[in-house]
Structure 1
Amino acid sequence: MARGIRLVRRYPVVALTLAIGLAGIVLALAGQGWLVAWIFSVYALGVAAWQAVGMLRDLLRGHWGLDVLAVTAIVATVLVGEYVAALIVVLMLTGGEALEDYAGRRAKRELDALLTRAPQHAHRVEGDGFADVPVEEVRPGDVLLVRPSEIVPVDGELRSSEASVDESSITGESVPVDKRTGDGLLSGSVNGPAAIEIAATARAAESQYQQIVALVAEAAASRAPVVRLADRYAVPFTVLSLLLAGVAWWVSGDPVRFAEVLVLATPCPLLIAAPVAFMGGMSRAARNGVIVKGGGVLEQLARARTAVFDKTGTLTHGTPELVGVRPEPGFEADELLGLVASAEQYSSHVLAESMIAAARSRGIALHEAAAAREEATNGVVARIGGREVVVGKFAFVRGHAAGARRTAIEPGELAVYVAVDGAYAGALLARDRVRDEARDTLARLDELGVRHTRMLTGDAQATADHIAAEVGIERVRAECLPADKVQEVAGIAERPVVMVGDGVNDAPVLAAADVGIAMGARGATAASESASAVILVDDLSRTAKAVEIGQDTVRIALQSIWIGIVVSIALMLVATFGVIPATVGALLQEVVDLITILAALRAIGGRRDARADAAADRPQSLREPQH
């Protein structure tokens, strides 16, 4: 009962149309057919006038819509006395809008699930008790209680001895993850059966889940270019429909034939198919760990011909391991590593964490800097213990130490150069591991028609060439600055271009590419904000999955549009011979509406993904977790 009331409130015009139809049946059974004709006709003309107002507003804005056919069909059926058909056309028009709304809600269920699960409150430890506070009031360092089965409200660090959390809404991995004291917890993950305490490490707005919600909200509010493509059919479809109806009237000499043809031209399927399909595709992408910021992104992904990859953190794990320290005379290895790690505390580069971790693992103390500044993509300058320490690329360090010289590296290695007080102090060597799924991802992209691949990286040429050969990339440009990457992508002829990256230095080129995809599993960055799509899990194969979803979505959208066009035209052609009464034709058009919506909902793709996951011949790295 309550659900029925909600539906009536949500779709009042549909409810009113059905009520008038039921009342007409009662009156007809009572022998009041003349009254039924008046009620149906007046109501239908009222709805037509209401639709005409909206149509005229669109025309004044320069947009030729398809509502002219519906309005014309309603008026024509009333004028020829087919008042039952007129009411059915009204039901089709208003019911089509309701079906579109319902289908859209169904299609974006995965997106809505993210939005509605956003944590609202947190249990903050205050004295000997707890206080419920809005999640926006939580500050880093606050101790929070997370009860069993509750959502972790902000990013934090586990204080309890152990915990088991469900991170499926964040990472897509359905298996609970075991945590120990000191491990990080992502907001949006669900606590297991035992209450735990965490120490907040970020504000709500800066936490992982809230950043995802912001991306989802942006995605849900978008409209795809291919949806506007449906509007392009408005003029030819309208002209063809009116022409067929006019010819049928002229040949038969019966104006009723005009109405019989036109009721089958009402273009609800054309208007509904594309939006529903694209919302379904965005929902499917979200379920597979990719937030797509708009249906237009799916269209570009479907047509992609070139894929460009950053190296560090994208094709590789982005956590290089220190493999050697080469100090110059006058410096000790541990001394040099300590200075580098201390300076790297003020760097956002992925290498910084590796240097800091290596120093700590050797028991080397880190020192705070009196002053520090980072030059994006180049390095960091810090004053440590009264000495100026410069850490970064060779060209950057050479600018601070005239005696700097390159050190020999093996394929796959990279060097971090160091200068201290204007003197070249040595180099540290690190090696990054290629992602296990990288080669399979490149192969899958090739299968999907993305034939051209490139790597753009700021690393040394030898290292870049080694990684490219290992994963199968055809073209490489190394030692790139952000501006170089933008210029390189702009010059690619085989478009659309998909750019995949993860760091702050990738933000400009992600924004410049036709489709920028950010590897955002480690948290929201400038890359995520400037990208067209964000991969929420640390899995490069989702790039190929995004392209696959884009192709499926566009194919289904266009199939659904043409189903609506072809079926409607076929029925109109049959109706020109007078074999389909206006009332029957209006009912048939309702069936076409339903068929079109069901066809468009295939873009949600749940069963398709499940079959793909179960396929024995699919590479494991490209298979998705079961849901």
Structure 2
Amino acid sequence: MEIKMAMTERFRDVRKGLGREIVLASVAGVLIVLSLLFEHLFHLSPVFFVATYPITPQMVAALLSLSFTGAPIIWGSIKGLLRRETNVDELVSLAIIGAVILGEYNAAAIVAFIMVLGSLLEEHASGRSRRDIEAIAAKHPTHAFVLRGTQFVAVPLEQVVVGDRVLVRPGDIVPVDGRVELGESRVDESSLTGESIPVDKVTGDAVYTGTTNQDGALQVVALKMGEDSTYGKIVHLIKEAEDQRVPARRIVDQFVRWYTPAVLVIAGVIWLATGDIFRPITILVVACPCALVLATPSAVLSALAYAARRGILIKGGRFLEACSDVDIVALDKTGTLTTGQLIVKEVFPLKGNGEVDILALAAKAEAGSEHPIAKAILNAALAHGLDVSFNGQIQTHPGLGIKGVDADQHVAVGSQRFLERIGLSIPEEAKSAEAAIFASGKTPLFVARGKEVVGLVSIEDHIRPESCKVVKQLQEEIGRVVMLSGDSGEVAQVVARQCGIPFHTVSAELLPDQKQEYLRNLQNEGRHVCYVGDGTNDGPALAQADIGVSIGTREDTIALDTAHVVLMQQGLENLSLFLALGRRTERTININLIFAISFGFTMMALAATGILTPILGAISHNIGSLMVILNSARLIKFKF
């Protein structure tokens, strides 16, 4: 909630500030018109004198106009200097002050008015991006209808606790992450996934904060609220992404530090060489590097807004820029190239046990795990009406298996390597069953009780429909595509063959830390790696990669913390879109920078020759800034 409120307040402050500037600029504009009328039409005499200096109505009107527009610019420059920060308003401030000293009050007032008017136009041009981001933050509700006694009453979201029953009426925005306890409906999850087709929800299904209930009423048991919810984390990520500075922005900041002193020197030289004070004043106006400063953030903000509307969450602009450097994409197998919706295909009992016995034993060990394999086993056990309660201790070995102890009964479920690591031997009949499972392209899991292997479970997964197409796109656009899997080599090769990934680029039976080490070795060779995983056991590799992309993490909010980019829509389809958007953003930033620098120096040359006046210089300066913003805004309508 605090995240959402902070973000909403930020945009509200922007709107208030914008409204105040519009009013002040309007008053200043009227005063400028009056000043020009007084000077050129009425030729009014001084109304009074200050130390023999004549004070005319034209001067009063111009100075009043400056108090509304020029004074804030000058004050902003002074505050920047007091903080020892370079401020882009310094040059314009000097130009305004210089014009006032020379008695060119109308020129000073008009320059200040045009600069403020230009900033208002810039805000309007970049407003689309901010409105898109604000719309995301605004979908976080502030109240929920919670069951209190026998009635549902509206309470602030801060008072909702885990386990509360929440009523979500048709048309309501879901206020919590939770599980449907009663009711059926369709829910629009486009705010999370970018997918416009509503999702059917029935008892037992998960619903998420920020999504919109459409048809029927739902009663939902609250599981996560506020900042802990999926949507809360998303809003937090968007806020962080907007605040982060990208490499190009830091370079611009360094450039501006020496740019201002250099411009002052150039203006001084022109004054000494020509004796015309208006030329250096015009140089100060056109040299204000607003277009240069806007070149990067305007492009990044547009790209972030575009991505967020399509269910692509990017933690910062630097990951957009990094897309241009990526020369290898590493793909996880389970949940990435495959659907990750595993099912138990077959059970192989040994030692005289029955299939149901093996399934019940495996389910007890997996009862406390959230791993996709555990869910597959538990679903199969529940389908057979088996008791899957487990009150013992569970020890998970990421990438290998799971071990549990219940009422002095030791149960282990996992790969052959896992069983051998904990000191169990694999009988020949179990190895034969394992070979048969491998031959069918499925994943074998050994089930052991005590010191004895009592059976195997065959786990089946399916290739995502879009995997082959995406792999081909990546191979054409990036070049090298590799697959990293914790599964066996046999199963990994089957998936690789179906997806069009060469066998020699497949690495199997990797533990999470081994995937991380694999990526580190690539980076030590000078490669720039994008790693794509589903968030399950992929944390180290996601963090190690230059760009770590996680897929479909509405339930696994931990991946929102470890990945650099999150594709909220299940599937790989948006991966190529994200990489293409990043490359286009980098290209847009470069175009902006080249234009801003060349335009600025061209205007300075025209000012030095006397072709531009201070007023024309202010107009030209704002045209340059608007051109940069409009070029960046094209990213909002990016097409891939």
Bin of the TM-score, shorter chain as denominator length: 0.7 to 0.9
Separation (CA, whole Å) in 2 of partners of 1:158 and 1:234: 55
Contact 2:190-2:311 within 8 A present in 1 as well: no
Of 482, 490, 495, the residue aligned with 2:520 is 490
Separation (CA, whole Å) in 1 of partners of 2:617 and 2:255: 22
Aligned to 2:450: 421
Separation (CA, whole Å) in 2 of partners of 1:65 and 1:192: 50
TM-score, structure 2 normalization: 0.86
Separation (CA, whole Å) in 2 of partners of 1:466 and 1:392: 20
Contact 1:299-1:550 within 8 A present in 2 as well: yes
User: Residues 456-471 of structure 1 correspond to what in structure 2 (within 5 A)?
Assistant: 456-471=484-499
Contact 2:184-2:217 within 8 A present in 1 as well: no
Query: What is the deviation of 1:384?
Result: 4.2
* Deviation larger for 100-109 or 477-486: 100-109
Does residue 1:375 correspond to 2:417, yes or no?
no
Does residue 1:33 correspond to 2:58, yes or no?
yes
Tell me which amino acid in the other structure corresponds to 1:303.
Answer: D
Of 479, 490, 494, the residue aligned with 1:451 is 479
Query: Identity of paired residues, percent?
Result: 32
* Deviation larger for 366-375 or 297-306: 366-375
Does residue 1:53 correspond to 2:78, yes or no?
yes
Separation (CA, whole Å) in 2 of partners of 1:190 and 1:337: 39
Query: Given the superposition, is the C-alpha separation of residues 555 and 466 from structure 1 closer, same or farther in structure 2, using an over 3 Å criterion?
Result: same
Query: What is the deviation of 1:114?
Result: 1.9
SS in 2 for 1:480: coil
User: Residues 471-482 of structure 1 correspond to what in structure 2 (within 5 A)?
Assistant: 471-474=499-502, 475-482=505-512
Contact 2:34-2:61 within 8 A present in 1 as well: no
Query: What is the deviation of 1:355?
Result: 1.1
Tell me which amino acid in the other structure corresponds to 1:174.
Answer: S
Query: Given the superposition, is the C-alpha separation of residues 530 and 57 from structure 1 closer, same or farther in structure 2, using an over 3 Å criterion?
Result: farther
TM-score, structure 1 normalization: 0.87
Name structure 2 gaps, 5 residues minimum.
Answer: 1-12, 39-43, 45-56
Deviations 1:429-465 (Å, cap 9, x if unpaired)?
22211111112222223444x2222222211112222
Does residue 1:283 correspond to 2:305, yes or no?
yes
Aligned to 2:563: 531
SS in 1 for 2:323: helix
Deviations 1:143-195 (Å, cap 9, x if unpaired)?
32222211112233334452122221122121223333433322322122443
Work out the number of aligned pairs and report it. Answer: 601
Tell me which amino acid in the other structure corresponds to 1:421.
Answer: G
Name structure 1 gaps, 5 residues minimum.
Answer: 613-627
Aligned to 2:331: 309
Contact 1:17-1:87 within 8 A present in 2 as well: no
Aligned to 1:410: 439
SS in 1 for 2:172: coil
Tell me which amino acid in the other structure corresponds to 1:551.
Answer: R
Query: What is the deviation of 1:198?
Result: 2.9
Separation (CA, whole Å) in 2 of partners of 1:92 and 1:504: 55
Separation (CA, whole Å) in 1 of partners of 2:276 and 2:225: 72
Separation (CA, whole Å) in 2 of partners of 1:338 and 1:319: 20
Aligned to 1:397: 419
Aligned to 2:607: 575
Query: Given the superposition, is the C-alpha separation of residues 252 and 141 from structure 1 closer, same or farther in structure 2, using an over 3 Å criterion?
Result: closer
Tell me which amino acid in the other structure corresponds to 2:511.
Answer: L
Query: Given the superposition, is the C-alpha separation of residues 263 and 137 from structure 1 closer, same or farther in structure 2, using an over 3 Å criterion?
Result: closer
* Deviation larger for 197-206 or 481-490: 197-206
Contact 1:413-1:430 within 8 A present in 2 as well: yes
User: Residues 136-147 of structure 1 correspond to what in structure 2 (within 5 A)?
Assistant: 136-147=158-169
Query: Given the superposition, is the C-alpha separation of residues 171 and 132 from structure 1 closer, same or farther in structure 2, using an over 3 Å criterion?
Result: same
Of 130, 152, 164, the residue aligned with 2:152 is 130
Query: What is the deviation of 1:293?
Result: 0.8
Aligned to 2:8: none
Separation (CA, whole Å) in 2 of partners of 1:357 and 1:38: 77
Query: Given the superposition, is the C-alpha separation of residues 553 and 82 from structure 1 closer, same or farther in structure 2, using an over 3 Å criterion?
Result: farther
Deviations 1:539-573 (Å, cap 9, x if unpaired)?
21211111111112222222223222222222222
Aligned to 1:154: 176
Does residue 1:355 correspond to 2:385, yes or no?
no
Query: What is the deviation of 1:206?
Result: 4.1
Contact 2:474-2:481 within 8 A present in 1 as well: no
User: Residues 333-348 of structure 1 correspond to what in structure 2 (within 5 A)?
Assistant: 333-348=355-370
Contact 1:390-1:420 within 8 A present in 2 as well: yes
Contact 2:173-2:212 within 8 A present in 1 as well: yes
Query: What is the deviation of 1:392?
Result: 1.4
Separation (CA, whole Å) in 2 of partners of 1:417 and 1:93: 73
Query: Given the superposition, is the C-alpha separation of residues 372 and 577 from structure 1 closer, same or farther in structure 2, using an over 3 Å criterion?
Result: closer
Does residue 1:23 correspond to 2:31, yes or no?
yes
User: Residues 322-333 of structure 1 correspond to what in structure 2 (within 5 A)?
Assistant: 322-333=344-355
Does residue 1:556 correspond to 2:585, yes or no?
no
* Deviation larger for 91-100 or 351-360: 91-100
Query: What is the deviation of 1:39?
Result: 5.3
Aligned to 2:50: none
Contact 1:160-1:196 within 8 A present in 2 as well: yes
Contact 1:74-1:86 within 8 A present in 2 as well: yes
